[in-house]
Amino acid sequence: MTEIEPRKSAAPAPTSWDYAPAPESRDVVTLRERYGHFIGGRWVEPQETYTTISPATEETLGEVGQATPDEVNAAVGAARDAFSNGWSALPGSERAKYLFRIARILQERSREFAVLESLNGGKPIKESRDVDLPLAAAHFFYYAGWADKLEYAFPNRRPQPVGVAGQIIPWNFPLLMLAWKIAPALACGNTVVLKPAETTPLSALLFCDVVQQAELPPGVVNIVTGDGRTGGALVTHEGVDKIAFTGSTEVGKAIQRELAGTGKKLTLELGGKAANVIFDDAALDQAVEGIVNGIYFNQGHVCCAGSRLLVQESIYEQLIGKLKRRLTTLRVGDPLDKNTDVGAINSRMQLDKIEELVAAGKDEGAEIYQPPCTLPEKGYWFVPTVFTNVAQSYRIAQEEIFGPVLSVLTFRTPDEAVEKANNTMYGLSAGVWTEKGSRILAMAQRLRAGVVWANTYNRFDPASPFGGYRESGFGREGGRHGLEPYLRFDE
Q: Summarize as ranges the residues that interact with other proteins (CB under 8 A).
A: 138, 249, 252-254, 256-257, 259-261, 268, 270, 425, 440, 444-445, 449-456, 459, 461, 463-467, 469-474, 476, 479-481, 489, 491
Closer residue to other proteins (CB): 160 or 464: 464
**Nearer to other proteins among residue 313 and residue 419 (C-beta):** 419
To other proteins, the closest distance from the beta carbon of 42 in angstroms equals 36
**182, 185, 190, 195: CA torsion to nearest 10:** -40
Residues in CB range of 253: below 8 A, 6 or more apart: none
Nearer residue to other proteins within complex by CB, 52 or 429: 429
Query: Least CB distance from residue 34 to other proteins, whole Å?
Result: 38
Is residue 480 a contact partner of residue 150, using CB atoms and an 8 Å limit? no
With helix as H, strand as E and coil as C, how does 373-391 read?
Answer: CCCCCCCCCCCCEEEECCC
- The active-site residue, picked from 112, 269, 471, 484, is 269
Shortest Cβ distance from residue 486 to other proteins (Å)? 16
Q: Measured between alpha carbons, how far is 309 from 141 in angstroms, rounded to an integer? A: 35
What φ, ψ does residue 215 adopt, rounded to 5°?
Answer: 60, 35
Question: Are β-strands 429-433 and 451-454 bridged in parallel, bridged antiparallel, or unpaired?
Answer: parallel
Is 303 among the residues known to form the active site? yes
- What is the smallest separation between the CB atom of 142 and other proteins, expressed in angstroms? 10
Identity of the residue, 352 or 461, whose beta carbon is nearer to other proteins in the bound complex: 461
Residue 377 falls in the annotated catalytic set: no
Q: Residues with Cβ < 8 Å from 393, sequence gap 6 or more?
A: none
Catalytic residue among 188, 208, 303, 304: 303
Closest separation in Å from C-beta 464 to other proteins: 5
For the residues of 99-154, what is the DSSP string, one character each? HHHHHHHHHHTHHHHHHHHHHHH---HHHIIIIIHHHHHHHHHHHHHHTT-HHHHS
Closer to other proteins by Cβ: residue 98 or 466: 466
Indicate the Cα dihedral angle 200, 459, 473, 480, nearest 10°: 110
Catalytic residue annotation: 269, 303
